Structure 1
Amino acid sequence: MQKQLNVLICDDSALIRKKLKNILEVCKCGTIEEAEDGLAAIQKAKEMKPDLIFMDIVMPGKDGMEALEEIMDEDPSLKVVMASSAGTQSHLKKALDLGAYDFIQKPITLEAVTAIIEKVMKGEKGESTHV
């Protein structure tokens, strides 16, 4: 049997966290934790050591880019997928430079999440295929 991925969802929108959690449950992920901002994401990432993190870029307090940088400093092996409705090329490049695994555009779809989970399960390198 395949290992189930433990996933951390970080988004300041409760609605988006709920939608993404539902998608991840359809994908048969293991533990799914939520964080409402970058600070909470950094803390939860240290505690749960997730296999995959979905991180919103634009959040109050500590944004996704700052959180990504701190999480990568702590554990460069973590796979962080940045999600944003404002998916500009500069955001994408900066996120990948900081160590993001991949990047998906909001609204997040089952197909985009499934493709990323399949890549993670196969151990493939992340590419920003869903921009």
Structure 2
Amino acid sequence: MANILIVDDAKFMRMTLTNILQNGSHKVVGEAENGRQAVEMYESTHPDLVTMDITMPEMNGIEALKRIIGLFPEAKIIMCSAMGQQKMVLEAIETGAKDFIVKPFDENRVLEAISRVLG
């Protein structure tokens, strides 16, 4: 069981991921709706893993990824992207993201990615 921080500006997406993670016996330790909140919550919850949306207001997922990795090089972050964001996904992986999952979320794919990253 892993402690996971979910970062997405859409409440529906956070709820969907929460359900998938709980079905996979993981614990959601926090939800953030933008990158700024993500950095603050990472510092206070120190999760085992973060699912990070790319496109968000205030601070996007790439910027939040850079800040978190800068502060905590051991952070395990999986990016969540919509179709057509390959360039941003590539930048995220080069910056230190461990994997990515594509929306709409496939439960098996999400849980496989988490197992692989935590593996």
TM-score of the two chains, using structure 2 as the length reference: 0.94
Q: Mean alpha-carbon deviation: is it higher for 108-117 or for 52-61?
A: 108-117
Distance 2:84 2:75 in 1: 22
Distance 2:16 2:67 in 1: 26
The amino acid across from 1:15 in the alignment is F
> In structure 2, do the counterparts of structure 1 residues 64 and 111 end up closer, same or farther at CA, with 3 Å as the change threshold?
same
Pairwise CA distance, 1:87: 4.0
The correspondence for 1:55, drawn from 31, 52, 61, is: 52
State percent identity of aligned pairs.
38
The correspondence for 2:4, drawn from 3, 7, 10, is: 7
> In structure 2, do the counterparts of structure 1 residues 52 and 88 end up closer, same or farther at CA, with 3 Å as the change threshold?
same
The amino acid across from 1:26 in the alignment is N
Pairwise CA distance, 1:14: 0.3
1:97-112 aligned within 5 A: 97-112=94-109
Q: Secondary structure at the match of 1:18?
A: helix
The correspondence for 2:86, drawn from 89, 97, 120, is: 89
1:117 paired residue number: 114
Structure 1 outlier segments of 4+, above 2 Å: 86-89
Structure 1 residues without counterparts, runs of 5 or longer: 123-131
Q: Secondary structure at the match of 1:60?
A: coil
Distance 1:81 1:10 in 2: 10
The correspondence for 2:70, drawn from 70, 73, 78, is: 73
The correspondence for 1:40, drawn from 37, 42, 47, is: 37
Distance 2:3 2:46 in 1: 8
1:126 paired residue number: none
| Greater C-alpha Rg | 1
Q: Secondary structure at the match of 2:27?
A: coil
Q: Secondary structure at the match of 1:20?
A: helix
Q: Secondary structure at the match of 1:107?
A: coil
Distance 1:31 1:18 in 2: 10
The structure in which a higher percent of residues are helix is 2
Structure 2 residues without counterparts, runs of 5 or longer: none
CA RMSD of aligned residues (A): 1.2
Distance 2:66 2:76 in 1: 12
